[in-house]
């Protein structure tokens, strides 16, 4: 099994009363191309913002390339 380049565990994100992400657990493996698909407003950009470190983690943990 290949190591994960990103590992999310129990991630949650809210914008006021709006839940953008609720208890997301996900491993993105190294050495592959991954994509997120879905309709507008389902949290794709919010998830990527957490992985990129441009949003503050409100709930859970995000590790990218071995760092927190």
Chain segment 30-59, per-residue pLDDT in tens: 988 888 999 998 999 999 999 999 999 999
pTM here is: 0.85
List of domains in the chain: 4-64 (3.40.50.300)
In degrees and rounded to multiples of 5, residue 36 shows phi and psi of: -115, 125
In b/e form, how buried is each residue of 15-29, taking b as 16+ CB within 10 angstroms?
Answer: eeeeebbeebeebee
pLDDT score for 56: 93
Q: Residue 1 — pLDDT band, cuts 50, 70, 90?
A: very low
Q: Which residues pair with 51 in a beta bridge?
A: none
């Amino acid at each position: 099994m290949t190591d994960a380049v990103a590992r999310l565990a129990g991630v949650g994100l809210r914008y006021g009363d709006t839940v953008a992400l609720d208890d997301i657990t996900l491993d993105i493996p190294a050495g592959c191309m991954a994509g997120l698909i879905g309709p507008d407003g389902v949290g794709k950009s919010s998830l990527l913002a957490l992985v990129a470190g441009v949003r503050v983690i409100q709930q859970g943990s995000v590790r990218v390339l071995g760092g927190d």
